[in-house]
Amino acid sequence: MPQADASLRLLAEAGIPAFRTPEVAADCMRAWSDWRAPRTEAMSPAIEHSLPAAPDEADARRLFAALGLASPFALLRTPQDAAKDMAFPVALKILSPDLAHKTEVGGVRLGIAGPDALRQEAAAMQGRVARMAPAARLTGFLVQPMAKGLGEAIIGFRRDPEVGPVVLLGTGGITAKLFRDVTLRLAPVDKAEAMAMIAEVKGMRLLGGWRGLPRGDLPALAQAVVAVSRLAARDDISEAEINPLIIHAESEGVTVADAWVVRAQDA
């Protein structure tokens, strides 16, 4: 417990583990106990789906659709375009490869009731985002039906320079980064491992029928985790995220509410 830098250095040079506090020693023992050998099984084949050099949300959604996570949406290139075959109310979002967090620049509007309101909101949004993020490239608008579920999840993928591809699951929505209720695995994962991840996220317990609450479609959530983890086979993707993924009632599936993908710099 005393500050003993010289003693710590002598022990380290002799190859003897030494720690300043019991808590640090316990953390190291836990890390050693949890260590698992690198995966040896073969990955699933990579999904054949091309991405532009600077993908926006529509491109990310098409990628996730190729992985089996398709959710309806329409594209508007100008505020005057009509959202064809789209049932109102809808959500409207600005499209840009430079805006990962559209809400912060006024790039999201929910519950738009009809076509006239949609055109008005799109025109106002275009001006507002151009003022708040003048350097961002604006590629149009994305329109999607409003969806309501029992809960929200965040699923993320990242190619970590130290450990390789990892997949993340946590409670989603605007509070995802506030509560940090997440779990991680090396990617890819199978459905059994995805279900184990769900069990580790505290916020997901409510969707398991906690105290008589309606049960969410956790098998569909697990399949979504598996699907996102398959990005490990794509060397051209460094990061990807769905937040939120709306979880519906049992047997009703999940809905992609927002998506993002980042290409690897050397791709």
Task: CATH number of the domain at 208, please.
Answer: 3.30.470.20
For residues 192 and 209, membership in a common domain is answered with yes
Q: Does 37 reside within a domain?
A: no
pLDDT value for 30: 92
| End-of-domain residue from the set 96, 116, 145 | 145
pLDDT value for 63: 96
Q: Does 259 reside within a domain?
A: yes
For residues 190 and 251, membership in a common domain is answered with yes
| End-of-domain residue from the set 145, 162, 188 | 145
Residue 63 near residue 236, CB atoms below 8 Å: no
For residues 140 and 163, membership in a common domain is answered with no
For residues 257 and 155, membership in a common domain is answered with yes
Q: Does 42 reside within a domain?
A: no
Residue ranges of E strands in the chain: 74-76, 90-95, 108-112, 140-145, 151-160, 164-171, 182-186, 237-247, 254-256, 259-263
For residues 76 and 120, membership in a common domain is answered with yes
Q: Does 23 reside within a domain?
A: no
For residues 180 and 258, membership in a common domain is answered with yes
* Among candidate residues 248, 251, 232, 228, the one with its CA nearest the CA of residue 61: 228
> How many structural domains does the chain have?
2
Residue 250 near residue 216, CB atoms below 8 Å: yes
**How far is CA 95 from its chain centroid?**
17
Q: How many whole angstroms separate alpha carbon 239 and alpha carbon 7?
A: 43
pLDDT value for 176: 61
Q: How many whole angstroms separate alpha carbon 108 and alpha carbon 116?
A: 17
Q: Does 64 reside within a domain?
A: no
For residues 81 and 132, membership in a common domain is answered with yes
For residues 196 and 164, membership in a common domain is answered with yes
The single residue listed with the structure tokens 């350097």 is 135
Backbone angles phi, psi at 243, to 5 degrees: -160, 110
Q: Does 125 reside within a domain?
A: yes
Q: Which two tokens stand for residue 111?
A: 């519950």
| End-of-domain residue from the set 98, 127, 145 | 145
Tens of pLDDT along the chain (267 residues) come to: 568 889 989 999 999 988 888 999 999 999 988 887 766 655 677 788 999 999 999 999 999 999 999 999 999 999 888 777 788 999 999 999 999 889 899 999 999 999 999 999 999 999 999 999 999 999 999 999 999 999 999 999 999 988 889 999 999 876 666 667 899 999 999 999 999 999 999 989 989 988 888 999 999 999 999 999 999 999 999 999 999 999 999 999 999 999 999 999 865
Whole-model pTM? 0.82
The range of the structural domain enclosing residue 113 comes to: 72-145
